[in-house]
Amino acid sequence: MTARETMLPRLVELDGGAKAGRLDGLVGIGEALAAVLMLVGPGAGGLSVALLGVSSATLLITATTSLGAALVTFGISAAAGAVNPEGSNATENNKVKKVFADLWSGWRFLLSNRLILGASILTAVFVPVIAGLQATVLPAYFIAQGLPELSGFAVTGIALGSLLGASVYAATIARTSPRRWFIFGAIGTGIGFGILGTLGAPWLVIVAAVLIGIANSPMSAVLGVATIRATPDAMRGRVLGAQNALMLAAPALTAAPIAVIAQAFGLNAAGACIAIAVAITTVAAIFTPAFRDLDAHAGGPSGGPSDAPSDTMEAPRQGEN
């Protein structure tokens, strides 16, 4: 995942990169495709189980699709994966030391850059909250309502909303301010979680899930593009690796507390806690100085000055983050 994100600016440049908003559009398309897969994937998996049963044939289909994805990567130009040769002459004795030095430099840059740190924290809040909803709160809520089959519709609603939001973002970002998309996403996500947190009527929960998907996907795309552009080419893999590590660790740290609150105080209390946490986060994000200059990262032929690879690119100074 980190390698795929790291290659995006290089792919835009190799494809010409002359049109404004190319990188933004590519990230938006990626968000839309992810939403499509969230809709199609579980259905295709369920159909294969229904037709073939829980058997080795079903697992063979999974293995075949994974192999197909790996083979497709051979179609990517090798130039897209070119990296800064800095440190490539490391000897056998200091290679391990170099790995830890690279790891530390990625985290150090992430922690010192206010924009990237803010985007990482925001993502680390929303990803586990949505994961907790899908894995704990929503299934328990619909079971309590005697409508367990609607749990899947709520998850599908998030995916459907993400598809719609990401598609509109990709189609309009060349003519729309990223800052406006960010504000729309933050406010919409906060409202969606506020409605969903009440755990009212089942239809209202599903509508809130769709709204969350519509608002959150453009905001995620804006933050993803801003992170790519704010990171020098030579540092991008290390910084995105640190950011993805934080994002993947966050659900493991928050799933248990959400479940404990639901068990001890009830589903409504868990939903209210989630809604309050998201509301505080979105309000803070809107007024955080680091996110006021998102439009400053939206220039350049392929989307911004740091879209084009540059091994000599200077890291943003603290006052320019």
CATH label, 22-46+102-298, candidates 1.25.50.10, 1.10.3720.10, 1.20.1250.20, 3.30.70.3170: 1.20.1250.20
Using a pLDDT cut of 90, give the percent of the chain over it: 8
pLDDT in tens, 147-169: 887 877 887 888 889 889 988 88
Of 197-206, 247-256, 265-274, the one with minimum mean pLDDT is 247-256
Q: Please determine, for residue 51, whether its predicted confidence score (pLDDT) is greater than 70.
A: yes
Q: Please determine, for residue 60, whether its predicted confidence score (pLDDT) is greater than 70.
A: yes
226 vs 4: CA distance, rounded Å: 16
Using a pLDDT cut of 70, give the percent of the chain over it: 87
Q: What is the pTM of this model?
A: 0.75
Closest CA to 181 of 240, 225, 130, 118: 225
Residue 19 is predicted with a pLDDT of: 62
Residue 248 is predicted with a pLDDT of: 83
Q: Please determine, for residue 24, whether its predicted confidence score (pLDDT) is greater than 50.
A: yes
Please report which confidence band the pLDDT of residue 67 belongs to, taking 50, 70 and 90 as the band edges. very high
Q: What is the mean pLDDT of residues 43-71?
A: 86
Q: What is the mean pLDDT of residues 71-91?
A: 71
Residue 141 is predicted with a pLDDT of: 87
Q: What is the mean pLDDT of residues 278-298?
A: 82
Of 17-26, 135-144, 185-194, the one with minimum mean pLDDT is 17-26
Please report which confidence band the pLDDT of residue 318 belongs to, taking 50, 70 and 90 as the band edges. very low
Residue 211 is predicted with a pLDDT of: 93
Q: How far apart are the first and last CA of the chain?
A: 25
Which of 311 and 214 is assigned the larger pLDDT? Answer: 214
Residue 52 is predicted with a pLDDT of: 85
Closest CA to 267 of 184, 176, 180, 205: 205
Map out the domains of the chain as residue ranges. 22-46+102-298
Q: Please determine, for residue 275, whether its predicted confidence score (pLDDT) is greater than 60.
A: yes
| 164 touches 28 (CB < 8 A) | no
Q: Please determine, for residue 85, whether its predicted confidence score (pLDDT) is greater than 60.
A: no
114 vs 118: CA distance, rounded Å: 6
